[in-house]
Amino acid sequence: MGTLADSAEQAGPLLAAAYRERHPRVRVRVREADFADPTGGLRAGLVDVALTRAPFDTAGISVRVLRADPVGAVLRADDPLAARPRLRVADLADRPWFRLPEGADPVWSAYWTPAGPGGAGGEGPVVRTAQECLQAVLWNGTVGMAPLTHTPPEGLAAVPLADVPPSRLVVAWNRGDANPAIRAFIRVAAELWGAAAR
């Protein structure tokens, strides 16, 4: 199973317990990917299934949405905009935004850096993980985005972005793959989030 760090933190423990209970003989190995590959290694053939966040290029990949989370701008807590009830991307146009690694999925990059690469306030640092993004905001005043289901660490604040669509937590697999263990994983994930949505 491939994953991005934030996806594993938000969903991994619940999913792992449910899957182990129903399929105790199946061994699952986890591979954590960075922002260069939002498919969690699926596109590179390193994993069979991924728990990740859309949007990304889905050519040859099937996805099932588990939930949609609103997103917010991550700012330093002492930033004047951090006290606002909500923001728009245009409110942050003069700020440097973090940049994603060269070669990162263009659909993914367009979503997570809506002000364009680096933003208008100068180029922010390149980040590969959610933790690096948070550190760039804390140390450099860079703007980042995160699902509002995450509680920002001390010194940071997350302000809802009114004009950015929700981030979707998804399970993804290679289109046409009929492996029964993968199908079972997808079924367990869908059941868990379907029950949570009711």
Report the alpha-carbon distance of residue 11 to residue 32 in Å, rounded: 14
CATH number at 2-68+166-197: 3.40.190.10
User: Helix H segments across 52-157?
Assistant: 106-112, 130-140
The answer, yes or no, to whether residue 196 has pLDDT greater than 60, is no
Residues 71-160, CATH architecture: 3-Layer(aba) Sandwich (3.40)
Could you state, in order of their start, the residue ranges of all structural domains in the chain? 2-68+166-197, 71-160
pLDDT of residue 6: 63
pLDDT of residue 131: 86
**Fold: same for 2-68+166-197 and 71-160:** yes
Query: What DSSP state is assigned to residue 75?
Result: E
Report the alpha-carbon distance of residue 171 to residue 180 in Å, rounded: 15
Higher confidence at residue 1 or residue 10?
1
Higher confidence at residue 46 or residue 129?
46
* Cα radius of gyration rounded to whole Å, the chain: 17
Q: What is the mean pLDDT of residues 175-192?
A: 87
Q: Which pTM does this prediction carry?
A: 0.86
Strand partners, 159: 73
pLDDT band at residue 117, thresholds of 50, 70 and 90? low
Tens digits of residue pLDDT in 141-174 = 899 899 998 888 999 999 999 999 999 989 999 9
How does DSSP assign 134-164, residue by residue? HHHHHHH--BEEEETTSPPPTTEEEEEBTTS
pLDDT of residue 197: 47
Higher confidence at residue 176 or residue 158?
158
